[in-house]
Amino acid sequence: EIVPDGLAMRPTLERVAASGAFPVIPWGFGKWWLRRGELVRRQLTLFAPQSLALGDNGGRLANAPRPTLFQRAEQQGFAVLPGTDPFPFPGQEARVGSYGFVLENWHRSDQPVEELLQRLRALSGTPRCFGRLTNPLRFAISQVRMQVRMRTPAKQIAP
């Protein structure tokens, strides 16, 4: 199912869950502060831990304090699922799979997607993760590039 852009957070998460997918609220630098951070905190009171997870990503700054929302979520029984989430820039494709998590005792299945969803919903905390976070120079460059990209008007493509 395609969930339309522009919906509020709660209806978006509900539509994702109703479609059979497993909703994950991704971490983003600057996105979890102030009002948006409060929106994330609110979801932790509205959803059951096995129906939602928070998403960490390898683009987060290494050696910086871990976001407090991760600890709060874990204390409430939510999982924090690490992933790569590369930026849309050349060279970032090499980062795919460099940060993630391990689901122990995986067995071959005829229905791997269903098994994955079942395993995610059964998590009672954050699974073991692998990989490393971004060094300060790469983090700063990526953040600046993303800000420039967001502020640059999209090129018009002629029909």
Q: Per residue of the chain (159 residues), what is the pLDDT tens digit? A: 889 999 999 999 999 999 999 999 999 877 787 788 899 999 999 999 999 999 999 989 999 999 999 999 999 999 999 998 888 888 888 889 999 999 988 888 899 999 999 999 999 899 999 999 998 998 888 888 888 888 888 655 444
pLDDT of res. 138: 86
Closest listed residue to residue 36, CA positions, set 46, 27, 45? 27
Strand, helix or coil at 14? helix
In angstroms, rounded to a whole number, what is the distance separating the alpha carbons of residues 26 and 39? Answer: 13
- Residue 2 Cα distances to 19, 52, 113, 139, 158, angstroms: 9, 18, 18, 31, 27
- Taking a C-beta distance cutoff of 8 angstroms, is the pair 42, 83 a contact? no
Q: Look at residue 71 in the predicted model and tell me its pLDDT.
A: 94
The pLDDT score that the predictor gives to residue 25 is: 95
**Assigned token pair, 118:** 């079942």
Q: What is the pLDDT of residue 14?
A: 95
| pTM for this entry | 0.85
